[in-house]
Structure 1
Amino acid sequence: MVASAMAARAQDAAAGEKDFVVCRSCHQIGPTAKNAVGPVLNGVVGRKAGTIPGFSYSEANRNSGLTWTPEELDKYLTSPQTVVPRTKMIFPGIKDETKRKNIIAFLEQYGPDGNRK
């Protein structure tokens, strides 16, 4: 019971929506989202890296071979430059594991069309 309570706390989508504020300066999500400094994050969980139409990805990102699973996103959000050297994403990363997991839980709510699942 304690383990399931800890897992629930570790993946709090409502908290992730608040934690996502650090991402909003470059990324949009939701039904009206558009590519900005960074690509739209609708349906990012499960998507192959570098594939949103109309966004100019770095060659490193396009050719990374990554699929954005929760585990890969966790690594990437910790240190983007470590996971994809030469990515255009200059964000230094999120060191707080709980915040990363919350953001991923928030992202998982959105399908490719930008609507919540």
Structure 2
Amino acid sequence: MPFTEGNAKNGAKLFKTRCTQCHTIEEGGANKVGPNLHGLIGRTSGTVAGFKYSDANQKKGVLWTEDALFDYLENPKKYIPGTTMAFAGFKKPKDRNDIITYIKEESS
């Protein structure tokens, strides 16, 4: 199933409750346990300056498109075996669509 536009307002709520403990999204935001996500769409995995990625993430070389994120966010450890990202994923396609829509709006 590919990405379809979701509800950015719901995505913002999901980001706040499930992502902000590890990530920032604002331009120039700090890296935390995870990298800053500003400009994520169109970026290659493992390339945020100053963030120490797992070897698996760097070697995967994923171009983060909406569809790649949709697949990744369902189960990050399955998509990139060996990743250090502890997040189990968003199992509901609607939640993945909403969070990706929010990321697109906030990080471009």
User: Given the two structures, how large is their TM-score scaled by the length of structure 1?
Assistant: 0.83
Number of the residue aligned with 2:92: 96
Q: Which residue of 2 aligns with 1:37?
A: 33
Could you tell me how far 1:32 is from its partner in structure 2?
4.7
Residue 53 of structure 2 corresponds to residue 57 of structure 1: yes
Greater CA radius of gyration, 1 or 2? 1
Q: Cα 1:31–1:65, aligned 2, differ >3 Å: closer, same or farther? A: closer
RMSD (CA atoms):
1.2
d(CA) in 2 for partners of 1:23 and 1:55?
A: 17
1:55 Cα deviation after fit: 0.2
Unaligned runs of 5+ in 1: 1-6, 112-117
Give the corresponding residue for 2:77: 81
Whole-angstrom CA distance in 2 between matches of 1:67 and 1:78: 17
Amino acid in the other structure paired with 1:15:
N
- 1:12 aligns to 2:3 (yes or no): no
Cα shift readout 1:29-78 (whole Å, capped 9, x = no counterpart): 11351100000000101110000000000010001021111111011110
How far apart, CA to CA, are the structure 1 residues paired with 2:87 and 2:51?
A: 18
Q: Distance in 1 between matches of 2:66 and 2:21?
A: 22
- Give deviations 1:57-110, integer Å, cap 9, x for gaps: 001000102111111101111000110000010111111111111000011111
- Normalised to the residue count of structure 2, the TM-score between the two structures is 0.90
Q: Which runs of 5+ in 2 are unaligned?
A: none
Percent of paired sites with the same residue? 39
Secondary structure of 1:78's partner? coil
Q: What is the distance in 2 between the residues matched to 1:19 and 1:11?
A: 12
Kindly report structure 1 stretches of 4+ aligned residues shifted beyond 6 Å: none
Separation in structure 2 between the aligned mates of residue 86 and residue 49 of structure 1, nearest angstrom = 14
SS in 2 for 1:44: coil
Cα distance in 1, alignment partners of residues 14 and 32 from structure 2: 19
